[in-house]
Structure 1
Amino acid sequence: MAADDALIAAAAQARERAYAPYSGFRMGAAVRTDAGEVLTGALVENVSLGLAMCAERAALFASVAAGARPERLVLVAPRTDGRITMPCGACLQVALELGGPDLEVTAATPEGDEESATLRDLLPRGPRKG
């Protein structure tokens, strides 16, 4: 279930545009939509922490704004505690809402290591639409 190079490259490019003056933890994401478009998002921090936005949600929301739904989600970020950084719970929940349990998620490092899983595996008991 490896992500294609184009999606990883798009997420890596978005990562370069991240606004992370407080943490320095730059993250970028890319979504391939059901219309075949590749849309990106970048982490945007704010001094008021609750106003920050993760890269993944920015990309997922962009798919809705484009009139599409996500088919694949890729995140590029540094490792956290030595492990590949996976999307946070809020991002997983938004991805589940918009893409469903079979949405493929890939997390990659700037060095090129990656892990992939479906939302069904990452958030097996997440709240779902009826």
Structure 2
Amino acid sequence: MTNESDRNFQIEVQRLHKLTVYGRWLTVILLWISVGSLSIWSLRREIDLWLENFTLAAVRYGLYFHRWPSLGLVLCLGMTLAVLTWHRRNNIVRGLPQGQKQRLEKQVRRIRQQGPSHPLWKWVCKNSQ
């Protein structure tokens, strides 16, 4: 029976990891939809100028004198690159690091202990019990 329990536990850890991945990508998508689109909209006149005559001076001018839209784009790009790097490290290069595995296992134990009142219960422990 413990072998079945261990297999269920590992499945739950994998589900939690998958939810973490989806959550990070959802955050990136929502960030691009909200902050990214507003930043691009604020820079629309500069983008027209860049499309007409693309020079580094025009790009520098557009980004330097429109700091809030520039910061919004930097935030979106930074978050996207951070999630890509995290995802690549976890899945392609070395697999899940031991520290992150332990953190996920601890979180699954907490979800199991709290039971159905935990917000992630139905996604993590749905068919295991």
Higher strand residue share: 1
Q: TM-score, normalised by structure 1?
A: 0.26
Higher helix residue share: 2
Q: TM-score, normalised by structure 2?
A: 0.26
Select the structure with the greater relative contact order (CA < 8 A; seq sep ≥ 6).
2
Report which of the two structures shows the higher radius of gyration computed on alpha carbons.
2
